[in-house]
Structure 1
Amino acid sequence: MTPEEILPGELLERFRERARGYDERNEFCHEDLAELKEQGYLRLFAPKSDGGLGLGLEAAAAAQRRLATAAPATALAVNMHLVWTGVAHLLMERGDDSLHWVLQEAVAGEVFAFGISEAGNDSVLFDSNTVAAPQGDGSYAYTGTKIFTSLSPAWTRLGIFGKDSTGLDPELVFGFITRETPGYTIKDDWNTLGMRASQSCTTVLEGAVSPADRVFRKLPVGPNADPLIFAIFACFETLLAAVYTGVGERALEIAVAQVHRRTSKKTGKSYAQDPDIRWRVADAALAMDGLYPQLAAVARDVDQQVDHGRLWFPKMVGLKIRATETARDVVDKAIRVSGGGTYFAGNELGRLYRDVLAGIFHPSDDESAHNTVANAWLGPVEP
């Protein structure tokens, strides 16, 4: 299926119309999520044999890019569901069925969220501030605080991890809890500059237990080559890049329409004839033209299991940085050519300007990405 078939134009227009109200009211995108469910969007990665659409990462990224042109915060929210289902898909493609049930439950209507990020944890997936306490029966009780938990009002399954330090060597333990699991609290604290409809609230775990059959991975602390880590990075960074690519794409589209609409009093011509304006728009278009093929190529290589060896993680974090920074620059250029109306509340470009700033904070950040790339090309820093 093409992105246009998955997300028809009339559906996108409804999303775009609602996006302004969600932002103004700081409200979760309930109607959008309901329509996406109806379209089968939450089962993009599930195999057709399970009732899914049977798509890969390249197709999912293209769909997310399209969705973000209408409703970036909705796209960012559903990204987290697609990360988990994408991880399950990639593992299955590589012969690991340990998360097949995630795809089956997504087809059944369950909504998955990503409870991984922690304040001050710049090790991200390689260490955790959350305590994972073994319960003696294979289950684990988690105690800690997770930030940026998108889909907070709607998730039914939350993927989490924490550190078990009870053995000789500490382990990072990955598991899932359900909405009905006792021992967690969702704070009503998502009052942000942008991406407001994602409602990525803080989740406090206070002994929430993941049962033994939902504890799916135990890994050593520190970097490792487990396929789960690759799958999470591949889905998270690629789908995130897709969202911000869509933001930049929409900003450029608005800028083109605006400069044709605006007229110079001095010349009587549209601003589309002004050489300085033309240069800015062309500069934005050139930047976006370099981003589209990079997004598609990285996603395609993941699907085709191309072996990039030590360069895989640099490629993924490089894509994320390129997408978020390019989109931020393109939105800025679009505002500069579109006039002072963009400064008023409710203007779409003004909202995109606030939304695109969130890209700075998603892992991998600029510093971490440069460190990853430097290590791949130059080797680690000598002690």
Structure 2
Amino acid sequence: MREYPERVATTTPSDSLIDDELLDRIRSRAAVHDRENSFPHDDLRELHEVGYLRMFTPVALGGLGFGLARVAREQTRLATAAPATALAINMHLVWTGVAKVLLDRGDASLEWVLRDAAAGEVFAFGNSEAGNDLVLFGSTTEAHPLPDGSYSFTGRKIFTSLSPVWTRLGVFGRDATDPSAPLLVHAFVDRSTTGITTLEDWDTLAMRASQSNTTVLDSAVASADRVFRKLPEGPSADPLIFGIFSNFEILLAAVYTGISQRAIELAVASAHRRTSLKAGGRPYAHDPDIRWKVAEAGIAHDAIPPQIEALAADVDGLVNHGAAWFPKLVGLKVRATESARFVVDQALRVAGGSAIYSSAELGRLYRDVVAGIFHPSDGESAHNTVANALLGPVPE
């Protein structure tokens, strides 16, 4: 078990786990971690202390008993201060959110994840693979069955957020023991497992503090009791897939919406602070062109939080959208990330050239927000999903 020893706008929930003082401390560290390309250990420690890592765990199991809608609001708030911290913690929250989705639907196969989270364990996502555009429906990692029911995994996982601190890593791979019916095997490995190497290769343009290093698996063994799903290749109706997609897409949308919210706050502050010699020293907040840009950003941003809230509430309420769930989820992710990019761009235009200095918070948000285009589902995959839902699949 691992031990962890500027006020935001009017949308801040009064009952947030992150009070204004904690938010200010987290914000004060964000630029340092970005500059130094370092992991925000202090952020994680303080968030752990207020119960952040056990939000999804039911009260009866030692947690806070939050649903996805509440967790998404917390993540939006956190992202206004430190987007990379929020993105990294998303990966832990996705796994605990998956466990809650399953438990709410009568499947206790990952209840132990919720108990471990309450005990201080940190979960990370080891699914992404370079060149694997099948995402959860195929894998380039080899999953080899062992006689005692355990599996060894050999492959290379990219974008492993929380890589300096995770204690439990969710992985999956392809078991081709029967070539005519290969299986996708989902399991967890522990940090102490032999055959796991973390490469210190996370030196990126955006989301630097997430420290999403590459993880190399070389016959890393997951014990039989940590192997929790064996699914056929391809799309699956298993609740696990819904749990992963719903939590992943909604919480991603929440993080990038936090970036959007903060960008508007900074744009408003800049418009009031900057003055125009041409206009006799009046603030840019009185300039009609600047007002238009701020208003455009506000209009774009304002549409997204209600969509996050509504879809998350449907997950919490066990609403059955059937096959429509996946178009709704990928559509939300794309709208949220693209809207955030637009809002940050407008904010930059309002702030002026000072935003390109390396010390400028808005410049950092401009870099961080671009990472949104790379998370699943990307634009191409999302449009294919929605097109299939509306038009039907293209005949082979």
Tell me, yes or no, whether TM beats 0.5.
Answer: yes
- Tell me the number of residue pairs that the alignment of Structure 1 and Structure 2 aligns: 383
Per the alignment, residue 292 of structure 1 pairs with 305
Conservation of the 8 A alpha-carbon contact between 1:87 and 1:232: yes
- 2:146 equivalent to 1:144: no
Structural mapping, 1:10-49, within 5 Å: 10-49=21-60
Per the alignment, residue 382 of structure 1 pairs with 395
Per the alignment, residue 55 of structure 1 pairs with 66
The amino acid of 2:393's aligned partner reads P
Supply the distance in 2 between the matched residues of 1:64 and 1:328 (Cα, whole angstroms).
18
Query: What is the CA-CA distance between 1:107 and the residue it aligns to?
Result: 0.5
- 2:92 equivalent to 1:81: yes
**Aligned counterpart in structure 2 of residue 273 of structure 1, from 261, 286, 289:** 286
The amino acid of 1:175's aligned partner reads A
Q: Deviation per CA, 1:199-258, whole angstroms, max 9, x where unpaired?
A: 000000000000000000000000010000000000000001000000000000100011
**Aligned counterpart in structure 2 of residue 221 of structure 1, from 222, 227, 233:** 233
**Aligned counterpart in structure 2 of residue 342 of structure 1, from 355, 363, 387:** 355
Supply the distance in 1 between the matched residues of 2:147 and 2:129 (Cα, whole angstroms).
26
The amino acid of 2:354's aligned partner reads G
Supply the distance in 2 between the matched residues of 1:297 and 1:177 (Cα, whole angstroms).
34
Supply the distance in 1 between the matched residues of 2:225 and 2:327 (Cα, whole angstroms).
34
Supply the distance in 1 between the matched residues of 2:253 and 2:219 (Cα, whole angstroms).
34
Per the alignment, residue 105 of structure 2 pairs with 94
The amino acid of 1:330's aligned partner reads V
Supply the distance in 2 between the matched residues of 1:141 and 1:23 (Cα, whole angstroms).
35
Structural mapping, 1:203-214, within 5 Å: 203-214=215-226
Supply the distance in 2 between the matched residues of 1:74 and 1:4 (Cα, whole angstroms).
21
Q: Deviation per CA, 1:274-305, whole angstroms, max 9, x where unpaired?
A: 01110000000000111111111111111111
Q: Deviation per CA, 1:13-37, whole angstroms, max 9, x where unpaired?
A: 0000000000000000111001111
Supply the distance in 2 between the matched residues of 1:278 and 1:48 (Cα, whole angstroms).
47
Structural mapping, 1:1-383, within 5 Å: 4-167=15-178, 168-267=180-279, 268-383=281-396
RMSD of aligned residue pairs (Cα, Å): 1.0
Conservation of the 8 A alpha-carbon contact between 2:16 and 2:74: no
Query: What is the CA-CA distance between 1:3 and the residue it aligns to?
Result: 6.6
The amino acid of 1:79's aligned partner reads N
Query: What is the CA-CA distance between 1:5 and the residue it aligns to?
Result: 3.0
Conservation of the 8 A alpha-carbon contact between 2:94 and 2:247: yes
Query: What is the CA-CA distance between 1:4 and the residue it aligns to?
Result: 4.1
SS at match of 2:154: strand
Query: What is the CA-CA distance between 1:194 and the residue it aligns to?
Result: 1.2
The amino acid of 2:303's aligned partner reads G
Q: Deviation per CA, 1:53-99, whole angstroms, max 9, x where unpaired?
A: 00000000000000000000000000000000000001000000000
Q: Deviation per CA, 1:178-205, whole angstroms, max 9, x where unpaired?
A: 1100001100000000100000000000
Supply the distance in 2 between the matched residues of 1:218 and 1:63 (Cα, whole angstroms).
33
SS at match of 1:5: coil
Supply the distance in 1 between the matched residues of 2:182 and 2:16 (Cα, whole angstroms).
47
Supply the distance in 2 between the matched residues of 1:322 and 1:29 (Cα, whole angstroms).
28
Supply the distance in 2 between the matched residues of 1:182 and 1:130 (Cα, whole angstroms).
17
Runs of 4 or more above 2 Å deviation: 2-5
Q: Using a 3 Å threshold, how does the CA distance of structure 1 residues 194 and 3 change in structure 2: closer, same or farther?
A: farther
Supply the distance in 2 between the matched residues of 1:80 and 1:5 (Cα, whole angstroms).
20
SS at match of 2:303: helix
Supply the distance in 2 between the matched residues of 1:374 and 1:232 (Cα, whole angstroms).
22
SS at match of 1:83: helix
The amino acid of 2:368's aligned partner reads D
**Normalised TM-score (structure 2):** 0.96
Query: What is the CA-CA distance between 1:40 and the residue it aligns to?
Result: 0.5
Supply the distance in 2 between the matched residues of 1:343 and 1:313 (Cα, whole angstroms).
38
Conservation of the 8 A alpha-carbon contact between 1:68 and 1:74: yes
SS at match of 1:204: strand
Structure 1 unaligned regions, length at least 5:
none
Supply the distance in 1 between the matched residues of 2:323 and 2:65 (Cα, whole angstroms).
29
Supply the distance in 2 between the matched residues of 1:21 and 1:113 (Cα, whole angstroms).
24
Query: What is the CA-CA distance between 1:346 and the residue it aligns to?
Result: 1.4
SS at match of 1:95: coil
